[in-house]
Amino acid sequence: MFNTMFANYVATSAAAAYIVGFALKGRAYMVTVAELNAAWVALARESTKNGGAMKLRMALNNRIKVALIEGGAVEIGDAAEVLSSRKNKGEAFEKWVTEYFGQTWVKDNIPYYMDGDLTVDGVKYQIKWENASLTNEGVIAKAMAWKLAH
């Protein structure tokens, strides 16, 4: 199930690249990659309150984080400061990245298959903080139908 969901997520994403953020030892980091590594993603289940569907989420363990740092992830500051602007860490990171690129952040609910979170020099990026949910079964089905229609 993971392989199918991950392949369908990648195939339906409007993003050309990803900006991934994470914290290690109180410091925040970001890395820009052309594609997500399947090893950074895990299959999980939505809460029963949200229907209990299977979902994909970021799953960066310390070994992966250290490898990302060694591979060129950029330290962006104290994790508490980077994430302090909002309760939701993913939103806080997205806001920080957007402002880092000199743009104004606005909260939106545009699906990942319609547009990226941020466009810089014509490149659409999805922005994800560690442990973020990427999508679930129902959204992937909508994404596949939308892609077929467009």
CA angle, 58 then 13 then 94, to 5°: 55
Phi, psi angle pair for 119, to nearest 5°: -120, 125
What confidence tens digit (pLDDT) does each residue in 29-82 have? 999 999 999 999 999 998 888 788 899 999 999 999 999 999 999 999 999 998
Q: What is the pTM of this model?
A: 0.93
Instruction: Give residue limits of the domains in the chain.
Output: 2-149
What confidence tens digit (pLDDT) does each residue in 105-148 have? 999 999 999 999 999 999 999 999 999 999 999 999 999 999 99
